[in-house]
Amino acid sequence: MCRDRGEHERTYELAAARKAFDFILRRYAMGMYAKYVPGDLHIRHLEALLHELADAGVTVYPFISPIHVTHLELMAEMNLINDYANWKRKLVQVFSEVNQDLPAQQQIVLWDFSGYSEITTEKVPDLQQQQFMRWYEDSSHFNQDVGGIMLDRMLGRQSVDSVTEIPFGVVLTSDNIDVQIEADQRNSRRYRLDNPEEISRLQKMLDSLE
């Protein structure tokens, strides 16, 4: 549901959509992704925090953010996608270990909204196209409509909005994590075949940074 905007503002946002994607993707490529070194420090901090919250009786609704697939493909082009998959495996292991100490009514559920869905594969309009993005501000930031769907999923709420029927989000467990990662890999291969212009754009951007 697009907010009501004037024609001037609509034209600005149309031009800014692709620029916003390029800016964020380049920023990650030059920054934290270029300097990324695998480690477990943050995982251990997360585990300690989860125990503290559980002891305090706080209900936790953790999720993996639905970044746009161009962001996933950037990680693939930078040879970081396996690290991303292993990070998910570590998260699942942490939540599994924490849940062993919790009663059934306090079990923490980890939702994964990343991956390849109708939402995350939304086409990014070029500058000359008269088209708005339905779900995204840039490759890393989704809008409030996506957030609403995520809350419906995590809280088990029913909605009259038909968009909530879109297959989106999966609960990650030790039983399905490898299956989900394999599905993401298959979907990535399909996306790359169907969207060579986006992959080429990422490759040219990375080449320009060398």
Q: Which of 197, 194, 117 is nearest to 153 (CA)?
A: 117
pLDDT tens by residue, 24-81: 999 999 998 998 888 889 999 999 999 999 999 899 999 999 999 999 999 999 999 9
pLDDT at 113: 97
Distance CA(192)–CA(198), nearest Å, equals 8
Distance CA(116)–CA(121), nearest Å, equals 6
pLDDT tens by residue, 103-152: 888 899 999 999 899 999 999 988 766 567 889 999 999 999 999 999 99
Using 50, 70 and 90 to split pLDDT, how confident is the model at 156?
A: confident
Q: Tell me, rounded to whole angstroms, the distance of Cα 106 from its chain centroid.
A: 25
pLDDT at 172: 97
Furthest-apart CA pair in the chain: how many Å? 56
Using 50, 70 and 90 to split pLDDT, how confident is the model at 8?
A: very low
> For 34-38, 114-118, 156-160, 196-200, which range has the lowest pLDDT when averaged over its residues?
156-160
Distance CA(22)–CA(95), nearest Å, equals 34
pLDDT at 127: 73
Using 50, 70 and 90 to split pLDDT, how confident is the model at 162?
A: low
Which structure tokens are listed for 23?
A: 């800016």
Which structure tokens are listed for 57?
A: 């009786």
Specify whether the CB–CB gap between 130 and 7 falls below 8 A: no
> For 3-12, 19-28, 115-124, which range has the lowest pLDDT when averaged over its residues?
3-12
CA separation (Å) from 103 to 36, 54, 56, 68, 106?
Answer: 37, 10, 14, 35, 5
pLDDT at 165: 67
Amino acid at 194: D
Amino acid at 52: E
